């Protein structure tokens, strides 16, 4: 059985010519550039998704605040009307008492 040197793969590595080395270097640079561009696009997508999410969240908060403001205004108007009705009833009762007292 022949003995196989575990480092034989490294010793049998093909030497590249200068042109092949340049081509390989250019290929690796192109792959690295493509990877950076792909990562940049992914990051931009994530940022856009986050921007949209934040916009929706801000809109939702603004809508809730507007609803609360409208409820407060409606409650205030209702209390004002009730107070005016009580004051009017009080005056009506007083006038009725005065009228009964004068007769």
Reported as a single tens digit per residue, the pLDDT across 90-100 is 999 999 888 88
Domain containing residue 54: 18-102
In a domain, residue 13? The reply is no
pLDDT digits 0-9 by tens, 23-62: 999 999 999 999 999 999 999 999 999 999 999 999 999 9
Q: Using CA atoms, how far apart are residues 6 and 83, in angstroms rounded to an integer?
A: 97
* Residue carrying structure tokens 């590595």: 13
Contact 16, 24 (CB under 8 A): yes
Q: Do the beta carbons of residue 11 and residue 5 sit within 8 Å?
A: yes
Tell me how many domains the chain contains. Answer: 1
- Residue 1 pLDDT exceeds 70: no
Q: What is the pTM of this model?
A: 0.53
Residue at 3 is within a domain: no
The pLDDT assigned to 15 comes to 87
- Distance, in Å, from the CA atom of 72 to the CA atom of 2, rounded to the nearest integer, reads 92
Domain for residue 10, yes or no? Answer: no
């Amino acid at each position: 059985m022949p003995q196989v040197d575990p480092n034989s793969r490294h010793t049998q590595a093909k030497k590249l010519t200068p042109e092949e080395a340049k081509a390989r270097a250019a290929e690796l640079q192109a792959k690295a550039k493509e990877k950076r561009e792909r990562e940049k696009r992914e990051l931009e997508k994530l940022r856009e998704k986050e921007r949209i999410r934040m916009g929706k969240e801000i809109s939702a908060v603004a809508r809730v605040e507007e609803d609360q403001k409208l409820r407060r205004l409606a409650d205030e108007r209702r209390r004002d009307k009730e107070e005016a009705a009580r004051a009017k009833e009080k005056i009506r009762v007083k006038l009725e008492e005065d009228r009964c007292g004068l007769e």
